[in-house]
């Protein structure tokens, strides 16, 4: 009999089942135990691999997608890369509409993964025919056999995390998790994971991380869409200037807002202390843990899981670039949080 070759069928078989890593140094003075769910271990280096695979496979099962069909989405980020990767393996064309604000590196990364990228003007209204939203919608209407992923308004986004991230965390913590902390962008990660976990134990506290300049926290507290909350910020991938239907606000117990500066320093600190070289929102999430600890959210018995959405290599031109940090004024004066200080 032939010996078995130990190989995966293709790269998609490696999506999910990401490791939970105990944090020790960065949380050493905090009450409770802290664990990071390191989504950078997905083959596309982010949590978005899960939704790309799930949404595409659901469309296949419903008979909406056939080989050679087209996937359309508006993103230059992790979702775009994940969709491009899944499309390569499954034989779809992947078209991504992005704004001219997206960095050249990001656009080249998407093209390297085989996506067709339309670069649209950044400073036009969403309903302008030149906007990336309008371009994606038009392409979807024009191209027969195309699927528009629409991650902010697609219920399958949260469902991907309900099916995978939630059960993984429940199993990895042997059902002992007391708190889930996750950044919210589309809200798919936090909503789907929280739904599964709260079904197992309704006492689990679910805490969302939002950016200053985003409407999510205020909306959660008041159910009002307050445009005064909207202003530019630098953290990419979390917070929003609209209310995504992919977010189930009822499953989130509270939101914490973090600043661009604190999140950047916290991400850098994660690398220096835990050897975890992760993205800007991972810094935001660990910063949120720090603020929650100060608010007295945790006690000795807390078992806290924090989601780390992506890898640090995507941020070489930003938080891991000393010039960029200086230009933002993030190295100026005394940093507000003494514990985040690192000697350079």
Does 74 sit near ligand PMP (CB under 6 A)?
Answer: no
Total binding residues toward ligand PMP, as defined by CB under 6 A: 16
Shortest Cβ 214–ligand PMP spacing (Å): 11
Cα torsion at 300, 287, 243, 160 (round to 10°)? -70
Choose between 23 and 69: whose C-beta lies nearer to ligand PMP: 23
Give the span between the Cα atoms of 145 and 59, in whole angstroms.
11
Does 78 sit near ligand PMP (CB under 6 A)?
Answer: yes
Does 185 sit near ligand PMP (CB under 6 A)?
Answer: yes
Given a contact cutoff of 8 angstroms between Cβ atoms, the answer to whether 103 and 317 are in contact is: yes
Does 36 sit near ligand PMP (CB under 6 A)?
Answer: no
Shortest Cβ 177–ligand PMP spacing (Å): 18
Among 18, 281, 287, 302, binds ligand PMP (CB under 6 A): 281
Query: Judging by DSSP bridges, how do beta strands 70-73 and 146-148 pair with one another?
Result: parallel
Does 76 sit near ligand PMP (CB under 6 A)?
Answer: no
Q: Which of 3, 25, 37, 48 is catalytic?
A: 48
Residue nearest to ligand PMP (CB): 237
Does 309 sit near ligand PMP (CB under 6 A)?
Answer: yes
Is there a catalytic annotation at residue 6? Answer: no
Does 16 sit near ligand PMP (CB under 6 A)?
Answer: no
Shortest Cβ 93–ligand PMP spacing (Å): 23
Choose between 234 and 335: whose C-beta lies nearer to ligand PMP: 234
Does 310 sit near ligand PMP (CB under 6 A)?
Answer: yes
Choose between 16 and 237: whose C-beta lies nearer to ligand PMP: 237
3-state per-residue secondary structure call for the chain? CCCCCCCCCCHHHHCCCCCEEEECCCCCCCCCEEEEEEHHHCCCCECHHHHHHHHHHHHHHCCCCCCCCEEEECCCCHHHHHHHHHHHHHCCEEEEEEECCCCHHHHHHHHHCCCEEEEECCCCCCCCCCCHHHHHHHHHHHCCCEEECCHHHCHHHHHHHHHCHHHHHHHHCCCCCCEEEEECCCCHHHHHHHHHHHHHCCCCEEEEEEECCCCHHHHHHHCCCCHHHCCCCCCCCCCCCCCCCCCCHHHCCEEEEECHHHHHHHHHHHHHHHCCCECHHHHHHHHHHHHHHHCCCCCCCCEEEEEECEEHHHHCCCCCCHHHHHHCCCCCCCCCCHHHCCCC
Strand 254-258: give its sheet, edge to edge.
Answer: 20-23, 33-38, 303-308, 179-183, 205-211, 254-258
Given a contact cutoff of 8 angstroms between Cβ atoms, the answer to whether 227 and 281 are in contact is: no
Shortest Cβ 327–ligand PMP spacing (Å): 21
By CB under 6 A, which span of 10-18, 177-185, 212-220, 254-262 interacts with ligand PMP? 177-185
Does 266 sit near ligand PMP (CB under 6 A)?
Answer: no
Choose between 213 and 237: whose C-beta lies nearer to ligand PMP: 237
Choose between 161 and 265: whose C-beta lies nearer to ligand PMP: 161
Does 188 sit near ligand PMP (CB under 6 A)?
Answer: yes
Of residues 233-262, those binding ligand PMP (CB under 6 A): 237-238
By CB under 6 A, which span of 84-92, 104-112, 179-187, 224-232 interacts with ligand PMP? 179-187
By CB under 6 A, which span of 60-68, 116-124, 127-135, 186-194 interacts with ligand PMP? 186-194
Choose between 33 and 186: whose C-beta lies nearer to ligand PMP: 186
Q: Which of the residues are catalytic?
A: 48
Contact residues: ligand PMP, CB under 6 A = 77-78, 183-190, 237-238, 279, 281, 309-310
């Amino acid at each position: 009999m032939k010996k078995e070759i130990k190989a995966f069928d293709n790269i998609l078989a490696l999506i999910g089942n990401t490791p939970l890593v105990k944090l020790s140094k960065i949380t050493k003075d905090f009450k409770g135990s802290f664990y990071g769910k390191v989504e950078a271990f997905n083959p596309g280096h982010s949590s978005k691999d899960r939704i790309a695979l799930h949404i595409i496979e659901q469309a296949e099962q419903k008979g909406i997608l056939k080989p050679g069909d087209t996937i359309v989405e508006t993103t230059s980020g992790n979702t775009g890369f994940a969709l491009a990767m899944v499309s390569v393996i499954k034989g779809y064309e992947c078209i991504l509409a992005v704004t001219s604000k997206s960095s050249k590196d990001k656009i080249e990364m998407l093209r390297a993964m085989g996506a067709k990228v339309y670069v649209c003007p950044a400073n036009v209204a969403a309903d302008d025919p030149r906007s990336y939203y309008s371009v994606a919608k038009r392409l979807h209407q024009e191209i027969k056999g195309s699927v528009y992923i629409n991650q902010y308004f697609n219920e399958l986004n949260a469902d991907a995390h309900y099916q995978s991230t939630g059960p993984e965390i429940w199993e990895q913590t042997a059902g002992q998790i007391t708190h889930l902390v996750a950044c919210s962008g589309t809200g798919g990660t936090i909503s789907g994971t929280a739904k599964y976990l709260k079904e197992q134990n309704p006492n689990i506290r679910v805490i969302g991380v939002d950016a200053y300049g985003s409407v999510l926290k205020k909306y959660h507290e008041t159910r009002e869409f307050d445009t005064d909350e909207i202003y530019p910020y630098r953290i990419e991938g979390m917070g929003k200037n609209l209310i995504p239907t992919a977010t189930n606000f009822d499953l989130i117990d509270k939101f914490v807002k973090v600043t661009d500066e604190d999140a950047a320093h916290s991400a850098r600190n994660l690398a220096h202390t835990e050897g975890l070289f992760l993205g800007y929102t991972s810094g935001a999430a660990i910063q949120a843990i720090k603020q929650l600890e100060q608010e007295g959210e945790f006690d000795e018995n807390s078992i806290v899981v924090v989601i780390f959405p992506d890898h640090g290599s995507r941020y070489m031109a930003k938080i891991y670039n000393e010039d960029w940090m200086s230009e933002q004024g993030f190295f100026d004066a005394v940093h507000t949080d003494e514990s985040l200080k690192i000697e350079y």
